[in-house]
Chain A
Amino acid sequence: MAVTKRRSPIESPDGTKKFLTATSVIPGFGLSTGVTLTMLSLVVLIPLASILWSSSELTVADFFATIARRRVLMSFWVSIETALIASLINMVMGLIMAWVLVRYEFPGKRLLDGMIELPFALPTVVAGMALTSLTANTGLIGGALEAVGIGAPAYTRAGIVIAMIFVGIPFVARSIQPVLEKLDRRAEEAAFILGASPWQIFRRVIFPEIRPAMLVGFGLAFARSLGEYGSVVFIAGNKPFQTEIAPLLIMSELQEYDYASATAIALVMLILAFLILFAMNLIQSQAAKRVGER
């Protein structure tokens, strides 16, 4: 691929033209930026703005009245609680998966590596149906758990957590994997020669390196779980105050033509999503600063 050098004239205060040169494999800074901004606007910014626009039809009092309803508050709580539990489990499991895929050689490794993305590719409704039939009291796992007295997870919050683990796991595994691959093994050897035990090597040398990636993976999985709808609706049972998640409540408000309530709930979800993304960016930039990668 040809590398093009492009010059873009920039007016400096004294009126002379200065030329900035940038080396890029994609020609046309103007064109490619335009495409980027257009796509971002069409796909992300305009739909989000429309939520804000619709919610502006609500008065502030209406907004708070809507979200302060016990059913709404409970749905937020169910969403946050289950997403939090699922993402914490994912953080640990994703770390183990990434570790196994990076540090060990075994037959079928590439296949397993590819399968991590399955939750991305599979329609979430299909996953929801499969998980429900598996964890209901008639299913393989649900039946077994029922028999030992724990109870089938389907149609409980445990079921929601299971669905959220399914959709969230790739985020954590895929965030940690490249960091583990890049890790300097000699730092571990240095710690080993200085007498560190395997646990000390992990805690003091490896963990600080992968902590930012773990937190980012956690944040992504949490954001995804919070917004997950397709796979959860089947397994949750959707009992108000118990297993009704916020996205589902938006859906049912819409079905009742209560657009105002739906947008109010959606707005809260939007704010939550922005907060998570902001926190993750903060974590990443802090970590990058520490090791001088920026």
Chain B
Amino acid sequence: MYVELKNVVKTYDSYRAADNIDLSIEEGRLVALLGPSGSGKTTILRMIAGLERQNSGDIIIGGRVVNDVPGSERGIGFVFQNYALFRYMTVFDNIAFGLEIQKQDKQVIRRRVEELLALTDLTGLEKRYPNQLSGGQRQRVAFARAIAPNPRLLLLDEPFAAIDAKVRKDLRAWLRSTISSLGVTSIFVTHDQEEAIEVADEIVVTNHGRIEQVGTPMEICIEPKTPFVAEFIGRGKRVSNIGAFRGFARWGHMAAIIQPEFVHVYLPGEDAGASGDALQPAIVQDVAFRGANWALRLACCGEELSAFRSLEAPPVHPGDPVRLSVSRAQGIAGEQTEPLYPEGT
């Protein structure tokens, strides 16, 4: 384990921003801290960086308890939201800052900065000031500045939040491949599920200062362990009575979350294959085009469901009567969830 948090508590007045956080992160992984705003994810990141001090508990980096080690001696690089570049320094000086503070040799600094300019595709821009750069370029300067002193741990606070959608996509892919080629253990904070799923090796979902679930993007998506994760990650709908759906009768009045991926919709007469006899009627409420598919909102058994429909299938319209089957749901039992499968499948 490269980074470990043990029973870490951080309170602001009466508000618990981090409530008994236990977390361990393996060396070389790219981890996302994912949660809604106010869930404590940024607090966790800032405590690891030494920018905030926990009230109790231990933070261990590289086998060393760093509770009393200042952030500058923890061997970390930090990329701030909105970059926090030094406005009165050129790109070169921004990137060189950490090395200059370490009083490295001028030649060494020059070589390292040139290497990073090439890595971040900023060669030729070294004499510019931050205000003369685009958002994506500033982001890459911030990244280069953070990794210049070769940190063993890279922390990124909402690294894509201030970048427009088109550039964000490219930058995510670039960041992922760059970090994995550097092999530096990295933790980034995000509130965007899609971003976490796309970029991270491992996702830590936080809510109300607690960790809800830790797992690979696939585990988080397919097997959400708590009602919060199921609702936050997927676009699932919460139903109060899963027993009303065909095949789920034995769970009675249990509440559950049904992800759109597991709702299959058929027009009357459309071939439903093996699930033919598990179908039940529903009404289309709303249809939205989402680029890769249609997103449907459906009324069924007095509940509301969402579903996707392929662009190749015959189109459906609001008000159309359809038939649907549910192949899987997450039943809610207190603070936990359990996967439910319909009988006869």
Is B71 interfacial (CB-CB < 8 Å)?
Answer: yes
Q: Contact at A195–B145, with CB atoms within 8 Å?
A: no
| B228 CB-CB contact with A under 8 Å | no
Q: Is B129 an interface residue (CB 8 A)?
A: yes
- In the complex, the number of residue pairs spanning A and B with C-beta atoms less than 8 Å apart equals 70
Docked pose: A67 CA to B132 CA in angstroms:
49
Which residue from chain B places its CB closest to the CB of A197 in the assembled complex?
B101
Query: CB of B336 within 8 A of chain A?
Result: no
Most buried by A among B77, B82, B97, B102: B97
Known: A186-B82, A189-B78, A189-B80. A194 touches B145 (CB 8 A): yes
User: Count the B residues whose beta carbon is within 8 Å of the partner chain — how many?
Assistant: 27
Given contacts A193-B49, A195-B72, A195-B149, whether A187 and B84 have CB atoms under 8 Å apart is yes
Q: How far is the CA of A207 from the CA of B271 in the complex (A)?
A: 72
Q: A195-B102, A209-B88 are in contact. Are A190 and B82 (CB under 8 A)?
A: no
Select from chain A the residue with minimum beta-carbon distance to B77. A193
Please encode chain B, from 80 to 96, with 1 for each CB lying within 8 Å of some chain A CB and 0 for all others: 11101111110000000
Q: Are B87 and A209 in contact, with the CB atoms below 8 A?
A: yes
Residue B51 at the chain A interface, CB threshold 8 Å? yes
Q: Is the CB of A194 within 8 A of B101?
A: yes
Q: Are A196's CB and B101's CB within 8 A?
A: yes
Alpha-carbon distance A186/B82, docked complex (angstroms): 9
A191 at the interface (CB under 8 A from B): yes
B123 at the interface (CB under 8 A from A): no
- Contact: B88 with A192, CB < 8 Å? no
- B98 at the A interface (CB under 8 A): yes
Report the Cα distance A292→B88, complex, angstroms: 11
Write out the residue numbers on chain A whose beta carbons fall within 8 Å of the beta carbon of B129: 290-292
Closest approach, in angstroms, between the C-beta of A192 and any C-beta of chain B?
6
Cβ of B88 to closest chain A Cβ, rounded Å = 4
Segment 119-149 of A: residues with Cβ below 8 Å from B: none
User: B182-208, CB under 8 A of A: which get 1 and which 0?
Assistant: 000000000000000000000000000
For the complex, is A204 an interface residue (Cβ under 8 Å from B)? yes
Q: A190-B80, A195-B149 are in contact. Are A291 and B101 (CB under 8 A)?
A: no
Which one, A195, A196, A291, contacts B88 given CB within 8 A? Answer: A291
A81 in the interface, Cβ–Cβ < 8 Å? no
- A205 located at the interface, meaning its Cβ lies under 8 Å from any Cβ of chain B in the complex: yes
A residues within 8 A CB of B265? Answer: none
Q: How would residues 207 to 226 of chain A score, 1 for a CB under 8 Å from any chain B CB and 0 otherwise?
A: 01100000000000000000
Q: How distant is the Cα of A202 from the Cα of B132 in the complex, in angstroms? A: 24
Min C-beta distance of B154 to chain A, whole Å: 11
- Assembly CA distance A195 to B99 (angstroms): 9
Q: Cα distance A29–B88 when bound, in Å?
A: 37
Q: Across the interface, which residues of A come within 8 angstroms of B88, CB to CB?
A: 208-209, 290-291
User: With A191-B86, A195-B72, A195-B102 as given contacts, are A186 and B80 in contact (CB-CB < 8 Å)?
Assistant: yes
Q: Which residue of B lies closest to A187 (CB)?
A: B84
A258 on interface, CB distance cutoff 8 Å: no
Which residues of chain A (127-174) have a CB below 8 Å from chain B? none
Chain B 92-126, CB-CB to A under 8 Å as 1, else 0, gives 00000110011000000000000000000000000
Interface assignment of A284: CB less than 8 Å from any CB of chain B: no
B211 beta carbon closer than 8 Å to chain A: no
Is A184 at the interface (CB under 8 A from chain B)? Answer: yes
The answer on a CB contact under 8 Å between A292 and B131 is yes
Check A189 against B87 for contact (C-beta < 8 Å): no
* A200: Cβ under 8 A from any B Cβ: yes
B86 in contact with A204 (CB, 8 Å): yes
**Shortest Cβ distance from B142 into A: residue:** A190
Among all A-B residue pairs, the 6 with the closest Cβ atoms: A292-B131, A186-B84, A208-B88, A194-B98, A195-B72, A195-B101
7 new A-B contacts, CB < 8 A, other than A186-B82, A192-B71, A290-B129, are A186-B81, A187-B84, A189-B78, A190-B78, A193-B71, A196-B97, A291-B87
Residues of B in contact with A (beta carbons under 8 Å apart): 49-51, 71-73, 76-78, 80-82, 84-89, 97-98, 101-102, 129, 131-132, 145, 149
Provide 6 A-B residue pairs closer than 8 Å at the C-beta atoms, listed in order of the A residue. Answer: A187-B87, A193-B71, A196-B101, A204-B86, A291-B87, A292-B132
